[in-house]
Amino acid sequence: MFEKAKIISGLIKSKKFECYVVGGAVRDLILKKIPIDIDFATNASLEDLYQIIKEMNFTMIPTGLKHNTVTVLIDNEAFEISSYRKNQNSCPPPNHSPTRLDDASTRDFTMNALYLDIDTNDFFDPYNGRKDIENKIIAYVQDPKDRINEDPLRILRAFRFMSTLGFCIEKNSLKQSLASLDDLFKVSPERIRVELLKLLSGEFVEPIFNSYFDVFFAIIPELKATFNCVQNTPWHIYDVFTHTKHVVLGLPSQKPLLRLVGLFHDIAKPKCKTTDELGIDHFYKHDCEAIALILPIMKRLKFSNKEIAYVCFLVERHMALNHDISEKGARRLIKNVREHFFSDTESILEDLILLAKADRLAQNPAHLKNLPFYDPAVIVRKELANKNNIYESPLTGEEIKNLFNLSEGKIIGLIKDYLIDQIIEGHLLQDDKNKAISLSRDYYESLKS
């Protein structure tokens, strides 16, 4: 990647323009990480860049013309090149061409306002970003209020970097970020969704749950009811929000969508909470009731239908493995997963196992200690490995139709489902047509009555 980046830098410089690597790539290099992508800033205009790229004979994509940005593809690797910008709040002289200092003043954080000459390794660091990186500090460039007013998403980005890098937010930057949380409604839901998933994927997300939980509530107000929602039950020692935090932290950071499931899994508990005559709290049907809350949230944040289906499915079944599961129960679960996610059955089940484990470990350890060891993964994986776990009715729809002289209709589907259930329960072999006919007749009579 760096050899290709040097080709771009060299060609732009050969036309007597400045060219620097900027932003996250420079930050990552200082942190001794390998950059995921490399972006450039230059004093060449968009028209100049068009001409230079044309001479390069590289593929160009006009990805961000609004911000004077183009993307260059070299062997399927993408490099963004932006012309210098000037701060909207500045008052430059007429016909003033933006400089790299002007451009630096438009950046969000000091750690992202670093410029590296890839050929000489010289830095341009007007806001002491390198020092802030070394001290693990996230600070807005110049006035935090101005930077947030330019783009309120920067609030979420600050907390996302706290979560992913383990940095602290500088005092004034933190104060202004928290004071401006309501401005997030000005940001497009698609951009919020992206930052939320990145924030959840951070290895250092715990401090945000502990001290800056209002960030979550600003994005998802429906979560606020879980805060300080007491769970007076032998199973739990935490309120719902704290339990939720431990579940999220117990899930792999590399699976942000699964961590979102963890964030949502008990969202309906406040709504479903009841207390019996002994003072014990219950949350009946909170797993099912959660869907009515989650669907509007995910649609509001413009998640895809596939992502919505995944999250809702796991939340609705997050208790399926919390208690002892029999072989028959495992077979039913596998069948249910296969009906919804046929090609992803194994990965969905593995995610459900991870969720059940995280949920269980976030409960009352003293209570769990008195229970027999239980690992649902053993039973589920055993049944999943069984080559006979793809269940089909011994009778086809056409055979059922002819047997009972039926027209097309849902009764045929009900009978097929009944026969599959009998196979799962161990009362019917998949190739036993005679017994399937007998069972079908009994079931058909019960439907009529």
pLDDT at 405: 81
Asked which of 135, 168, 191 is the last residue of a domain, the reply is 135
Verify that 272 and 172 share a domain, yes or no.
no
> Both ends of the chain: CA-CA distance in Å?
72
Asked which of 150, 184, 219 is the last residue of a domain, the reply is 219
Return the axis-axis angle of helices 327-340 and 305-316, rounded to nearest 10°.
160
Verify that 127 and 151 share a domain, yes or no.
no
Q: Enter the pTM of the model.
A: 0.85
Verify that 241 and 370 share a domain, yes or no.
yes
Verify that 200 and 130 share a domain, yes or no.
no
pLDDT at 389: 61
Q: How far apart are the C-alpha atoms of 381 and 2, rounded to whole Å?
A: 44
Verify that 342 and 265 share a domain, yes or no.
yes
**CATH code: domain of residue 204:** 1.10.110.30
Asked which of 358, 385, 412 is the last residue of a domain, the reply is 385
Is 376 a member of any domain? yes
pLDDT at 392: 76
Verify that 30 and 162 share a domain, yes or no.
no
Per-residue DSSP letters for 295-334? Answer: HHHHHHTT--HHHHHHHHHHHHTTTTTSS---HHHHHHHH
Verify that 311 and 363 share a domain, yes or no.
yes
**CB 72: neighbour CB atoms within 10 A?**
21
**CATH code: domain of residue 128:** 3.30.460.10
Its domain, for residue 5, covers 1-135
Q: How far apart are the C-alpha atoms of 430 and 392, rounded to whole Å?
A: 7
Residue 257: which residues within 8 A CB-CB, separation 6 or more?
197, 307, 310, 311
Is 431 a member of any domain? yes
Residues of the chain with pLDDT under 70: 63-67, 88-96, 323-324, 342, 368-374, 387-390, 449
Verify that 227 and 361 share a domain, yes or no.
yes
pLDDT at 447: 78
Is 271 a member of any domain? yes
Verify that 119 and 169 share a domain, yes or no.
no
Q: How far apart are the C-alpha atoms of 422 and 396, rounded to whole Å?
A: 15
Verify that 325 and 264 share a domain, yes or no.
yes
Verify that 256 and 200 share a domain, yes or no.
no
Is 159 a member of any domain? yes
Verify that 292 and 327 share a domain, yes or no.
yes
